[in-house]
C-alpha cells in the first residue's frame, strides 16, 4: 500500500491582479456543492503549509515581489497551478501598462486551467492533475 496521504493537498491561493472572477469560483470549491474537503484537500493559510499554490491574474508590477516571496516559501516538491486565462497570459489585460505576462507564466506554473473564469469542476480537474504531478515529483 502506497502513501495514504498521496492525494491530499494543502492549497494556497495567490491573487496577482485577478478581477476576482476566478476567486468566486475558487471559493465555490468550498461550498456544499463542490466541497473539496471530500477529496482530502484544504485551503491553507500559509505557503509553508502548502503542496499546491494556485495563482490567478495577469501579474501586476505591484504584486511581483510579494508573489515571488510567496512561491519561494512553499516547501518542495510543490506544484504551481495557474487558474484562468489571465494567469496563462491570454486574458483581457495582457499588455496593459502595469500588468505582466500572466502570473502562471511568470511563476513558471506546472499546469494551467483555462477559462474566464474556469468553472469549479474545471478547477477541481486541475487540482486532481496537480495531485498526480505531485505524486510523480515525490
Give contact residues for other proteins (rule: CB under 8 A).
13-28, 30-33, 43, 45-46, 57-58, 60-63, 66-67, 70, 91-93, 95-99, 116-117, 119
Grid-cell match 501579474, residue found = 59
Cβ distance to other proteins smaller for residue 21 or 129: 21
- Gap between the Cα atoms of 21 and 28, Å rounded: 11
Cβ distance to other proteins smaller for residue 40 or 98: 98
User: Residue 24 Cβ, how far from other proteins at the closest point, in Å?
Assistant: 6
Cβ distance to other proteins smaller for residue 56 or 79: 56
Q: Are strands 52-56 and 111-113 parallel, antiparallel or unpaired?
A: unpaired
Cβ atoms of residues 39 and 51 within 8 Å: no
User: Residue 26 Cβ, how far from other proteins at the closest point, in Å?
Assistant: 5
Cβ atoms of residues 91 and 130 within 8 Å: no
Cβ atoms of residues 90 and 102 within 8 Å: yes
User: Residue 85 Cβ, how far from other proteins at the closest point, in Å?
Assistant: 10
Cβ distance to other proteins smaller for residue 57 or 104: 57
Contacts of 133 (CB under 8 A, 6+ apart): 79, 110, 111
User: Residue 58 Cβ, how far from other proteins at the closest point, in Å?
Assistant: 6
Amino acid at each position: 500500500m502506497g502513501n495514504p496521504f498521496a492525494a491530499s493537498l494543502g492549497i494556497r491561493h495567490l491573487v496577482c491582479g485577478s478581477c476576482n472572477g476566478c476567486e468566486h469560483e475558487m471559493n465555490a470549491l468550498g461550498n456544499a456543492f463542490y466541497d473539496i474537503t471530500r477529496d482530502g484537500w484544504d485551503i491553507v493559510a500559509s505557503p509553508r503549509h502548502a503542496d499546491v499554490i494556485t495563482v490567478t491574474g495577469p501579474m501586476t508590477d505591484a504584486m511581483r515581489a510579494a508573489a515571488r516571496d510567496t512561491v519561494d516559501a512553499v516547501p518542495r516538491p510543490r506544484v504551481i497551478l495557474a487558474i484562468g486565462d489571465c494567469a496563462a497570459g491570454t486574458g483581457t489585460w495582457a499588455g496593459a501598462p502595469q500588468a505582466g505576462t500572466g502570473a502562471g507564466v511568470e511563476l513558471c506554473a506546472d499546469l494551467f486551467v483555462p477559462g474566464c473564469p474556469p468553472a469549479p469542476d474545471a478547477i477541481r480537474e486541475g487540482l486532481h492533475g496537480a495531485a498526480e504531478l505531485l505524486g510523480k515529483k515525490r
